[in-house]
């Protein structure tokens, strides 16, 4: 019995419930938020350590044997993802202490944040496809409420698109699960994988693979299904944006990785071809969208889309090196992207604007902030020796080895354009002198303590980026081991269902 599998789900759920009890006490909610996310981070590290030591860990909920009950499965990819959830959860919780207004806290910001983290961790750890749907919905409901916290006009407009498209994706996912159940008569992912190999109607299997691809593609923000993302991610309070940017789309990417390596790997024919070109177009459209924008968070939102393309590219190439690259890219991206959103929040707090045209002169007034921005920004663009360089290097090398020259060329070009839009932010916000008075709202007052609370998570995440960039050997080894697990579905099936692999009708 290993409790660390269930703890990353239970801790945020409990923390959410307890903070609801302290509905009126702002202090208690804040203490619980920081304490519980710190606890989450520690247990997820514990989980990663034991998965790394003992291989895939499985827990059967309620003691029901594998194909009948709900299994929680922690393989290396799942464990890595929950560790990243812990890191982002903790950073954002500390950051929210300074940035979340009283009004937002009074309407349940912290309980919703815990609920969101529970949904994300549940999605990463479940081994049951219907349970995955349920965790998706937990996550979605929490994200709906967080997105409209504050009820501003832009938030409403963004939320309608976000809600409509995400509900659509959930329905498609649900239909696909129902049809899959009708075909194989089981919901346990390992069991589905085993039985699907024996299904004769391969046309139906391909149709189901496409339905899962569309459903998760909407969640992940892949081309041509990403339009809800740049329409909504820049509207909520910045801590919420950062949380969404780091975790939500990556749950979609994780689900794509899980489904296409475990369940639909038998016929990697045209589905992987579609994924490949989808990845290329996702990269390109995302980065071109960003080039046209002059609002800080909107640029970053479009870059989420373009970076998703690299991860899907890793999956679509489906060679061992490419999958390593995809996993490495996810690790690098979650940390860097959240960090950039947090930096944009600090700048907003200091100057009261996200518009690049109205900002300027930060290199002179806050040189430390310039350094903190430059680390994740250059990492995103893929400048050595930062983490993004290695991530891009692995993916592109895998592309060349797989002789997918067209998509690889797009990946290289997108790296260059990413650098362009990071430099755009740099020169507008940091180098340009402050625009003449009158354009800018009067600067809001910021206390020193708040500034420290905001800067500490940013610095911590920047250190993570530097660590991945300068000392990548252990991270690469992790990515390599998890890719090996992903490419060997039999290991996963054996871990979940036990040694009995003969078919029972």
Partner 1 sequence: MEPLMAVTIGILFAAAIYMMLRRSIVKLVVGLILLSNAANLLIFATAGMLRGAPPLVPQGLSAPANMVADPLPQALVLTAIVIAFGVLSFAVVLVRRAWEIVRADDLDKMKDTDT
For 135-145, give one letter per residue: b (16+ CB within 10 A) or e. bbbbbbebbeb
Residues that bind partner 1 (CB under 8 A): 130, 133-134, 137, 140-141, 144-145, 148, 151-154, 156-161, 163-164, 167-168, 170-171, 174-175, 177-179, 181-182, 185, 187, 227, 231-232, 234-235
Alpha-helical segments (H) within 188-295: 189-196, 202-220, 228-232, 238-258, 270-291
Q: Which is nearer to partner 1, 178 or 384 (CB)?
A: 178
Handedness of CA 121, 124, 130, 131 (dihedral sign): negative
Q: Give the separation between CA 290 and CA 230, rounded to whole angstroms.
A: 9
Q: Which is nearer to partner 1, 175 or 413 (CB)?
A: 175
Q: How far is the CB of 153 from partner 1 (least distance, A)?
A: 5
Q: Which is nearer to partner 1, 43 or 186 (CB)?
A: 186
Name residue 188's beta-bridge partners. 128
Q: How far is the CB of 503 from partner 1 (least distance, A)?
A: 17
Q: How far is the CB of 160 from partner 1 (least distance, A)?
A: 6
In contact, 496 and 73? CB cutoff 8 Å: yes
Q: Which is nearer to partner 1, 12 or 230 (CB)?
A: 230
- What one-character-per-residue DSSP string does 310-345 give? HHHHHHHH-SHHHHHHHHHHHHHHHHHHHHHHHHHH
Q: Which is nearer to partner 1, 67 or 457 (CB)?
A: 67
Distance of CA 407 to the CA centre of its chain: 23
Q: Give the separation between CA 121 and CA 150, rounded to whole angstroms.
A: 26
- Helix 238-258 vs helix 202-220: crossing angle, to nearest 10: 170
Q: Which is nearer to partner 1, 145 or 453 (CB)?
A: 145
For 456-475, give one letter per residue: b (16+ CB within 10 A) or e. ebbbebbebbeebbeebeeb
Q: Which tokens in the block code for residue 121?
A: 């961790």
Q: Which is nearer to partner 1, 236 or 388 (CB)?
A: 236
Q: Which tokens in the block code for residue 423?
A: 């430099």
Q: How far is the CB of 157 from partner 1 (least distance, A)?
A: 4
**Could you tell me the maximum CA-CA distance found in the chain, to the nearest angstrom?**
77
| DSSP 8-state secondary structure symbol assigned to residue 295 | B
Q: How far is the CB of 155 from partner 1 (least distance, A)?
A: 9
Q: Which is nearer to partner 1, 42 or 291 (CB)?
A: 291
């Amino acid at each position: 019995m290993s409790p660390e599998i269930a703890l990353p789900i239970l801790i945020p759920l409990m923390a959410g419930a307890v903070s609801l009890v302290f509905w009126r006490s702002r202090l208690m909610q804040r203490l619980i938020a920081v304490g519980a996310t710190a606890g989450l981070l520690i247990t997820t590290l514990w989980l990663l350590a034991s998965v790394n030591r003992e291989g895939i860990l499985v827990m059967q909920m309620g003691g029901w044997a594998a194909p009948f009950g709900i299994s929680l499965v922690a393989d290396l990819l799942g464990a890595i993802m929950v560790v990243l959830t812990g890191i982002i959860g903790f950073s954002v919780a500390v950051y929210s202490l300074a940035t979340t207004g009283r009004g937002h806290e009074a309407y349940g910001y912290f309980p919703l944040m815990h609920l969101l983290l529970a949904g994300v961790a549940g999605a990463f750890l479940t081994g049951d496809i219907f349970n995955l749907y349920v965790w998706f919905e937990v996550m979605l409901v929490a994200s709906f409420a967080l997105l409209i916290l504050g009820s501003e006009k832009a938030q409403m407009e963004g939320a309608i698109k976000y809600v409509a498209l995400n509900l659509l994706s959930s329905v498609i996912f649900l239909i696909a699960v129902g049809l899959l159940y009708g075909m194989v008569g089981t919901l346990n992912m390992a069991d589905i994988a085993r039985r699907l190999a024996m299904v004769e109607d391969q046309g139906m299997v391909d149709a189901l693979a496409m339905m899962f691809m569309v459903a998760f593609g909407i969640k992940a923000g892949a081309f041509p299904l990403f339009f809800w993302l740049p329409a909504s991610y820049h509207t909520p309070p910045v801590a919420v944006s950062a949380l969404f940017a780091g975790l939500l789309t990556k749950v979609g990417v994780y689900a794509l990785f899980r489904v296409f390596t475990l369940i639909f790997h038998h016929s990697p024919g045209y589905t992987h071809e579609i994924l490949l070109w989808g990845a290329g177009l996702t990269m390109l459209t995302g980065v071109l969208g960003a080039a046209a924008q002059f609002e800080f968070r909107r640029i970053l939102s479009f870059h989420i889309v373009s970076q998703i393309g690299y991860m899907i590219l890793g999956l679509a190439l489906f060679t061992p090196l490419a999958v390593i690259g995809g996993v490495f890219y996810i690790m690098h991206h979650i940390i860097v992207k959240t960090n950039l959103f947090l930096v944009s929040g600090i700048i907003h707090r200091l100057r009261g604007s996200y518009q690049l045209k109205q900002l300027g002169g930060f290199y002179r007034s806050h040189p430390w902030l310039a350094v903190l921005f430059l680390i994740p920004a250059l990492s995103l663009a893929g400048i050595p020796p930062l983490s993004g360089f290695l991530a891009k290097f692995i993916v592109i090398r895998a592309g060349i080895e797989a002789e997918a020259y067209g998509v690889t060329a797009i990946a290289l070009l997108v790296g260059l354009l990413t650098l362009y839009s990071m430099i755009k932010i740099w020169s507008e916000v940091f180098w340009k002198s402050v625009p003449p008075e009158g354009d800018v709202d009067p600067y809001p007052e910021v206390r020193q303590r708040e500034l420290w609370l905001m800067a500490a998570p940013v610095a911590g995440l920047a250190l993570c980026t530097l660590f991945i960039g300068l000392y990548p050997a252990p991270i690469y080894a992790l990515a390599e081991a998890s890719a090996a697990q992903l490419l060997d579905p039999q290991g996963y099936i054996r871990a979940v269902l036990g040694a009995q692999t003969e078919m029972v009708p």
